[in-house]
């Protein structure tokens, strides 16, 4: 009782009177009966900034559907496309329209149409929430426009007077931009990014800029995110992998332009050591053209080989000092016969495509040369003392986690370690054994220690090594294969040792009973509970469905990354969870921002219902609703305390 009184006294500072507490109860009870906000789920963005930001701007096609429903035959198709294009890219579109004839009349018509769209998307939220989304300079005017009807003859002249004044004062363009951005914001209430923001595409840093400032986002770490986080935390093995992958795809924009990583020391070292080496297995996966010449490709291949050899050495060192990782099979440099040019794997001697290892000492193959050691130190310093990368990694930690449970959905990037019989597998993390939810919690904690731990140096060093394990370890939840066969794929022509065997979770992808057991482990039971994953591209082109496990598991990696689109046949999925149920949007490739602006070309998206509900989902049915119900309960206790004299009302200043 004493604790309750102390808490109620604190609560009374926010609600000092019976009237204040009563008003808040009325407000919260009303909010519980509004439709739930729309959640968007995306995954495996892999640096494809332009396509991703377009999906956010058009809300996976939701804005186009609302425009079609709202205007029907009132507007021509071309007019509706132009209106949508203006909502998506207002600043860019307006630059093209400045020379338009009768521009003031166009402003007037456009403002009316945009206000109608805003009125529709704002209708499911409280005025307070809408007000918070509005730009302060136009907040009052926009509120007046969306809450007053043009059909009301009493307000007709009033509204048109506002519109005319906006135009006459030269504010039309800024006002249109403001409304467009509010429409975008309100159409997506919350965004879930289920991992793999980094690598392959050129714009991961731009995606991170966008996400760090986004109004409501959470991120579940993928293994491609973890490797960048590990590099920023000080793991040399993680850093080497980041550099190798960027060079493999000749994707240096994020490294050099995004984060200002100085690759000159690596280029100098590579030219010195591999100047006469053709480096054929290390030629980048990039098209030779006027923008990327053969000479540039050769230099990238030399840098690629240099960092790959360093990576194999650094990984061998991690495996040696962490026997608990059980990854000795990934140490391959000491299995090379340098005279014969072969490597011994699983009882077989395989010829190497490139037998030249200029910096590898057969007597101590995992030792860095003095030049390599100096290079690693200089490169790692670029990652650990990088203000922009640090900002983005802190964002990944503050807005992110290994997993998330939200509104009956369990979100994680890849996998849950399982035994062959489908039961939860016990895995060692920092000397202790965990499984299921406890394993995920332990992994999340260690991942944070890699970056934030300051007092326990032993834990920090382990955590930095563990970040590399999360990238490629056999029981790592963001990975879950028996191996990452980088060495074999680079250097062995025979594809037999290339095979990477999936973990049991990925193999049992259609087992509904396993999905239900995992959901139960996280406290989710019932017909409308789902696991939502990415990581594994869904081969839609071959008829594979993203809906698995009897509808209990949804895999929404549809190929945002261009290198995967030949496998998937599409260019990404978005899962949309609104008050009517779950919708899956399947997207075709994005052309360009220029075409989207100039020609009003939108991403073509096919949407299908995954699951519908018989009764519309309200805020009261969600996790936020449960929080609000708790607040209502506390406020009712405060009312009772006021009325019984346990707590006294405060004088309002």
Predicted local distance difference test score (pLDDT) of residue 1: 60
Instruction: Pull the structure tokens for residue 318.
Output: 């991690």
Which is higher by pLDDT, 112 or 156? 112
Convert the pLDDT of each residue in 499-520 to its tens digit.
999 999 999 999 999 999 999 9
- Separation between Cα atoms, residue 168 and residue 164, nearest integer Å: 6
Is the pLDDT at 152 greater than 70, yes or no? no
| pLDDT above 90: percentage of residues in the chain | 79
pLDDT band for position 145 (cuts 50, 70, 90): confident
CB 561 within 8 Å of CB 200: yes
Strand partners, 432: 429
pLDDT tier at 193 (50, 70, 90 boundaries)?
A: very high
- Token pair 């970056």 in the structure block, residue: 451
| Mean pLDDT, rounded, of the chain | 93
Beta pairing, strands 530-533 & 409-412: parallel
What pLDDT does residue 271 have? 96
Among 51-60, 221-230, 425-434, where is mean pLDDT lowest?
51-60
For residue 306, give both structure tokens. Answer: 């240099």
pLDDT tens, position by position, 602-642 = 888 888 889 898 899 999 999 999 999 999 999 999 999 99
Is residue 227 within 8 Å of residue 198, measured between CB atoms? yes
Mean pLDDT of 395-422: 97
**Beta pairing, strands 547-548 & 553-555:** antiparallel
Q: Supply the pLDDT for residue 2.
A: 64
Q: Which residue has the tokens 């945002």?
A: 560
- Which helix (H) or strand (E) segment holds residue 645: the answer is none
Dihedral class, residue 526 (left if φ above 0, else alpha if ψ from -120 to 50, else beta)? left
pLDDT for 107 beyond 70: yes
Q: Is a pLDDT exceeding 70 seen at residue 354? A: yes
Q: What is the pLDDT of residues 203-259, one digit of tens each?
A: 999 999 999 999 999 999 999 999 999 999 999 999 999 999 999 999 899 999 999
Residue-wise pLDDT tens digits, 15-40: 999 999 999 999 999 999 999 999 99
pLDDT of residue 651: 79
Contact 546, 538 (CB under 8 A): yes
Mean pLDDT within 565-572: 86
Distance CA 153, CA 90 (A): 31
What was the pLDDT predicted at 572? 87
> Where are the chain's structural domains?
2-34+621-644, 57-187, 221-393+429-486
CA distance linking residue 425 with residue 427, whole number of Å: 6
Q: Which residues pair with residue 218 across a beta bridge?
A: 192
Provide the Cα torsion 637, 638, 641, 643; round to 10°.
-110
SS3 per residue for 435-500: CHHHHHHHHHHHHHHHHHCCCCHHHHHHHHHHHHHHHHCCCCCCCCECCCCHHHHHHECCCHHHCC
- β-partners of residue 434 are 427
Q: Which residues share a beta bridge with 577?
A: 39, 582
Please report the pLDDT score of residue 623 as a whole number.
96
Give all strands (DSSP E) within 214-260, no chain letters.
217-220
Question: By the 8 A CB rule, do 43 and 556 touch?
Answer: yes
Quick one: pLDDT at residue 84? 95
What digits encode the pLDDT tens for the residues 320-346?
Answer: 999 999 999 999 999 999 999 999 999
Calculated CA dihedral for residues 80, 85, 88, 89, nearest 10 degrees = -150
pLDDT of amino acid 97: 81
CA angle 452, 454, 459 (to 5 degrees): 85
Distance CA 579, CA 593 (A): 31
Cβ(297)–Cβ(288) under 8 Å?
A: yes
């Amino acid at each position: 009782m004493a604790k309750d009184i102390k808490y109620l006294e604190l609560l009374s500072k926010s609600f000092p009177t019976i009237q204040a507490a009563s008003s808040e109860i009325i407000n919260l009870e009303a909010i519980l009966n509004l439709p739930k906000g729309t959640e968007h789920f995306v995954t495996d963005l892999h640096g494809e900034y332009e396509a991703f930001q377009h999906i956010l701007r058009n809300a996976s096609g939701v804005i186009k559907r609302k425009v079609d429903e709202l205007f029907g035959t009132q507007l021509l198709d071309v007019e509706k496309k132009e209106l949508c294009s203006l909502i998506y890219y207002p600043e860019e579109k307006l630059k093209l329209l400045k020379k338009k004839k009768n521009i003031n009349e166009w402003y007037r018509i456009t403002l009316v149409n945009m206000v109608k769209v805003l009125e529709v998307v704002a209708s499911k939220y409280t005025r307070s929430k809408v007000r918070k989304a509005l730009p302060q300079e136009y907040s009052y005017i926009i509120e007046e426009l969306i809450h007053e009807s043009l059909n009301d003859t009493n307000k007709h002249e009033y509204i048109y007077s506002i519109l005319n004044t906006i135009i006459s004062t030269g504010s039309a363009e800024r006002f249109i931009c403001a409304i467009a951005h509010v429409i975008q914001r309100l159409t997506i209430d919350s965004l879930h990014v289920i991992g793999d923001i980094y690598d392959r595409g050129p714009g991961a840093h731009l995606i991170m800029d966008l996400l760090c400032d986004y109004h409501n986002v959470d991120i579940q770490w993928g293994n491609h995110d973890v490797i960048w986080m590990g590099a920023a935390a000080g793991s040399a093995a993680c850093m080497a992998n980041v550099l190798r992958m960027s060079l493999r795809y000749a994707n240096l924009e994020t490294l050099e332009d995004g984060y200002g990583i100085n690759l000159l020391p690596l280029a100098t070292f590579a030219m010195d050591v591999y100047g006469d080496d053709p480096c054929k297995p290390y030629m980048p996966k990039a098209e030779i053209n006027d923008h990327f010449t053969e000479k540039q490709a050769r230099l990238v291949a030399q840098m690629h080989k240099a960092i790959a050899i360093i990576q194999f050495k650094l990984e061998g060192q991690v495996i040696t000092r962490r026997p608990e990782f059980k990854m000795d099979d990934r140490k391959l440099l000491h299995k090379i016969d340098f005279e014969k040019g072969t490597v011994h794997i699983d009882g077989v001697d395989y010829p190497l495509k490139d037998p030249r290892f200029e910096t590898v000492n057969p007597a101590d193959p995992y030792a860095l040369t003095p030049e390599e050691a100096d290079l690693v130190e200089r490169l790692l310093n670029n990652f650990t003392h990088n203000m922009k990368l640090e900002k983005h990694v802190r964002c990944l930690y503050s807005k992110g986690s290994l997993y998330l449970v939200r509104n009956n959905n369990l979100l994680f990037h890849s996998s849950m370690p399982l035994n062959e019989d489908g039961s939860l597998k016990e895995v060692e993390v920092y000397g202790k054994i965990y499984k299921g939810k406890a394993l995920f919690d332990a992994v999340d904690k260690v991942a944070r220690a890699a970056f934030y731990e300051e007092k326990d140096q032993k834990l920090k060093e382990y955590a930095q090594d563990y970040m590399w394990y999360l990238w490629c370890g056999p029981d790592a939840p963001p990975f879950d294969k028996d191996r990452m066969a980088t060495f074999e794929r680079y250097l062995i022509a025979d594809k037999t040792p290339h095979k990477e065997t999936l973990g049991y979770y990925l193999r049992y992808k259609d087992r509904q009973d396993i999905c239900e057991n995992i959901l139960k482990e996280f406290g989710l039971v019932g017909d409308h509970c789902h696991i939502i994953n990415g990581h594994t591209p869904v081969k839609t082109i071959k008829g594979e469905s993203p809906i698995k496990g009897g509808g209990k598991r949804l895999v929404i990696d549809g190929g945002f990354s261009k290198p995967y689109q030949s496998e998937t046949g599409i260019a990404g999925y978005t899962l949309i969870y609104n008050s009517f149920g779950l919708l899956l949007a399947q997207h075709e490739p994005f052309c360009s921002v220029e075409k989207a602006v100039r020609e009003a070309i939108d991403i073509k998206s096919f949407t299908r219902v995954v699951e519908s509900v018989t009764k519309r989902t309200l805020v009261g049915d969600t996790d936020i609703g449960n929080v609000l119900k708790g607040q209502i309960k506390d406020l009712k206790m405060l009312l009772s305390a006021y009325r019984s004299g346990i707590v006294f009302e405060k004088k309002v200043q």
